[in-house]
């Protein structure tokens, strides 16, 4: 999601109907022992985080939704995000996504440690602090590692995710579904089209988009679609590298979906030939990949239209109209 740029700003997830064990976090000050009961972030760092002293707190880029800080301690550094107005569900969903990616043991992501409520209002998340390197990432290695995550992260429940989350600040519904075309049509394109109609009064894009959804099945003929763990919002602001040059991905909007949907933000991710070549060595390209590519861009163009306005409408409606002509409907 282009608007949520951050140095180590992890993804935003919306309140979910599923409540998992809470992982906690709040803003701390260098002098900690006197105020533990007032600051759950410091409290966790000085107990479960195994630190005895917080030696410094410095702000880092956290995007436009949350505040982000690095807590430096005698037990290492911790990355902390806080939001003063949203409850823990948002960060819980983010932590679940990060943990799912982390458990594949493929591409590097920050390990989540704790999520919880702030004392008065709002919430926090504490996670591993990753020191970034000078370059964004090695494209070939990024493609290979991402494909390995898609190959390792499978779901027996179908397409969806245990919790709803957000893409940027837009709710992303992840109710389990056994059919990918139905899932993508209803919970991805359909949801965004309804937002465009309700928020922007755009009945034209809604009606044309619904025609596309009802007629897009031929684009998926002769392929087998397995649910793969997706980052879900993979653009350049969410891709970096650690100090050893290994790719790191941040700010997820995770769900299990068709692996090709991961490239939906490629229009601002900068994926090059070496990325795709390495990716397809691990996850072979399926027939019709090029015909489906813009269908996955459409979800994110619609989301940007709903979030940031009419500047993205022309790209979205152009994709819809091109598919209606291609499908002759």
Q: Tell me, what's the pLDDT at 4? A: 36
What is the tens place of the pLDDT at every residue in 165-213? Answer: 999 999 999 999 999 999 999 999 999 999 999 999 999 999 999 999 9
Q: 228 vs 135, which has greater pLDDT?
A: 228
- The yes-or-no verdict on residue 2 having pLDDT over 60 is no
Q: Which of 38, 74, 179, 233 is flagged as catalytic?
A: 233
Phi, psi of 230 (to 5 degrees): -110, 145
**Contact between 94 and 11 (Cβ < 8 Å):** yes
- The yes-or-no verdict on residue 21 having pLDDT over 70 is no
**Contact between 97 and 165 (Cβ < 8 Å):** yes
Residue 38 bears catalytic tag: no
Per-residue buried b or exposed e for 300-316, using 16+ beta carbons within 10 Å of the residue's own CB: bbbbbbbbeeeebbebb
Cα dihedral angle (304, 126, 132, 147), rounded to 10 degrees? -60
Indicate the pTM of the whole model.
0.87
Q: Domains (ranges, CATH) in the chain?
A: 40-128 (3.30.200.20), 139-327 (3.90.1200.10)
Alpha carbon 211 to its chain's center: 28
């Amino acid at each position: 999601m282009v608007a949520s740029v951050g140095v180590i700003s992890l993804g935003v997830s919306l309140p979910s109907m599923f409540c998992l064990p809470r992982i906690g976090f709040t803003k701390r000050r260098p002098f900690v022992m006197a105020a533990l009961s007032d600051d759950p972030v410091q409290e966790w760092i000085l107990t479960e985080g195994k630190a005895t002293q917080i030696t410094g707190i410095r702000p880092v880029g956290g995007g436009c939704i949350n505040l982000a800080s690095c807590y430096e301690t005698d037990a290492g550094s911790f990355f902390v995000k806080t939001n003063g107005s949203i409850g823990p569900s948002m960060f819980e969903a983010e932590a679940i996504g990060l943990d799912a990616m982390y458990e594949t043991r493929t591409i590097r992501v920050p390990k989540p440690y704790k999520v919880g409520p702030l004392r008065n209002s709002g919430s926090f998340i504490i996670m591993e602090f990753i020191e970034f390197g000078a370059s964004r990432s090695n494209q070939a290695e990024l493609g290979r590692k991402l494909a390995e995550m898609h190959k390792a992260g499978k779901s027996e429940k179908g397409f969806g995710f245990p919790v709803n989350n957000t893409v940027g600040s837009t709710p992303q519904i992840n109710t389990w579904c056994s059919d990918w075309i139905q899932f993508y049509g209803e919970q991805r394109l359909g949801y965004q089209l309804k937002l465009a109609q309700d928020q922007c009064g755009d009945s034209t894009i809604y009606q044309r988009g619904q025609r596309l959804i009802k007629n897009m099945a031929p684009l998926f003929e002769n392929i087998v679609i397995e649910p793969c763990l997706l980052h879900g919002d993979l653009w350049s602001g969410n891709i970096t590298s650690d100090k050893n040059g290994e790719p790191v991905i941040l700010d997820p909007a995770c769900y299990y979906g068709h692996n090709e949907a991961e490239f939906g933000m490629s229009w601002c991710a900068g994926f090059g030939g070496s990325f795709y070549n390495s990716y397809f060595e691990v996850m072979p390209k399926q027939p019709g990949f090029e015909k489906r590519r813009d269908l996955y861009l459409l979800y994110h163009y619609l989301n940007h239209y709903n979030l940031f306005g009419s500047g993205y409408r022309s790209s979205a409606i152009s994709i819809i109209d091109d598919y209606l002509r291609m499908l002759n409907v």
